[in-house]
Structure 1
Amino acid sequence: MYFTVDDPDGSYATGQVIRLAAEGLYFVRFDGNEVTLPLELVSIGEMLETTEEEYKLWRFFDTIEERDKWIEWLDAPSKPRVISLVRPTK
């Protein structure tokens, strides 16, 4: 299982849930830029944390392709919309 986790500064980290370590604890590996990072222990409570606005910080994906598709959508610039303020004549 793959994930993204949001940071308060608006950035995000990516990685993979490797395996169950103990009840309620999982080994995860965050993606490194140049080297493979060591495994970290993360509790299920940390994975379920939300912001004050009830926004989930962790998102989970079955495949790396699903995660990459989400990231592509997330990083895509929004398209400006033009709204006409003039009423059409009849």
Structure 2
Amino acid sequence: MTKTVTDTLTGMYFTLDDPDGSYASGQIIRLAAEGVYLVRFDGNEVPLPLELVSLGEMLGTTEEEYKLWRFFDTIEERDKWIEWIDTPSTPRVISLVRPSK
């Protein structure tokens, strides 16, 4: 009897949050074994070697229950997320004093 393994992550792009506030990005290359994927992190100059990552690691969260891994269907979606996250927010000033008449 053959057991079929469902693979829904191969080809997807990702970002991975680091505890220091930075992030890494890359692509899921292929299923290596049930529940384990070969991923390639983006390098600055050259592609980095493939790494094995389990589904358990991909489902990891911080102590505050924030997801560490975010998945995207296309590189454009991932790049749009990265652009949004890297854009500094503009501070807003809220006046707590009522104007006098």
TM-score range, shorter chain: over 0.9
User: Residues of 2 paired with 1:22 and 1:36: CA distance?
Assistant: 23
User: Residues of 1 paired with 2:33 and 2:99: CA distance?
Assistant: 65
Is 1:76 paired with 2:65?
no
* TM-score of the aligned structures, taking structure 2 as reference length: 0.84
How much is the aligned-residue C-alpha RMSD, in angstroms?
1.1
Is 1:59 paired with 2:58?
no
Give the C-alpha shift of residue 86 in structure 1: 2.1
User: Residues of 1 paired with 2:33 and 2:66: CA distance?
Assistant: 27
Matches within 5 A, 1:17-36: 17-36=28-47
Unpaired stretches in structure 2, ≥5 consecutive residues: 1-11
Unpaired stretches in structure 1, ≥5 consecutive residues: none
Give the C-alpha shift of residue 82 in structure 1: 1.4
Tell me the SS of whatever aligns to 1:45: helix
| Number of positions where the alignment pairs a residue of Structure 1 with one of Structure 2 | 90
User: Residues of 1 paired with 2:72 and 2:88: CA distance?
Assistant: 22
Which residue does 1:42 correspond to in 2? 53
Identity of aligned residues (%): 87
